[in-house]
């Protein structure tokens, strides 16, 4: 009997946001589509999971809708708003 695919996805790629210039947009490591954190349409990607540490966003897990890769974002900077 076939097991159903686990809901928890394996992480295919990890993106370190501290190494990305600009507004945080980056190309999908697999298919190259630009993933922008400001894009809230969920047409290009969907957020799977967010991890919060000390009330700050620490990690973001998202799925690329084009190629299906699961990408982990880390390195969110804790920049105090002035």
Give the residues lining the site for Zn ion (CB under 5 A).
Answer: 28, 30-31, 64, 66-67, 69
Query: In this complex, which beta carbon is closest to Zn ion, that of residue 30 or of residue 72?
Result: 30
**Nearer to Zn ion among residue 69 and residue 76 (C-beta):** 69
Which whole-number Å values give the CA distances from 5 to 9, 65, 68, in the listed order?
9, 18, 14
Task: Write down the least CB distance from residue 4 to Zn ion, Å.
Answer: 24
Express the helix, strand and coil content of the chain in percent, nearest 5 each: 5, 40, 60
Nearer to Zn ion by C-beta: 61 or 64? 64
């Amino acid at each position: 009997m076939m097991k159903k695919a686990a809901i928890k996805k394996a992480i295919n790629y990890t993106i370190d946001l501290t190494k990305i210039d600009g507004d945080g947009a980056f190309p999908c490591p697999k298919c190259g589509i630009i993933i922008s954190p400001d894009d809230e349409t969920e047409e290009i990607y969907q957020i799977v999971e967010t991890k919060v540490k000390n009330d700050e966003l620490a990690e973001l897990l998202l799925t690329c809708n084009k190629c299906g890769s699961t990408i982990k974002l880390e390195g969110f900077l804790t920049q105090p708003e002035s």
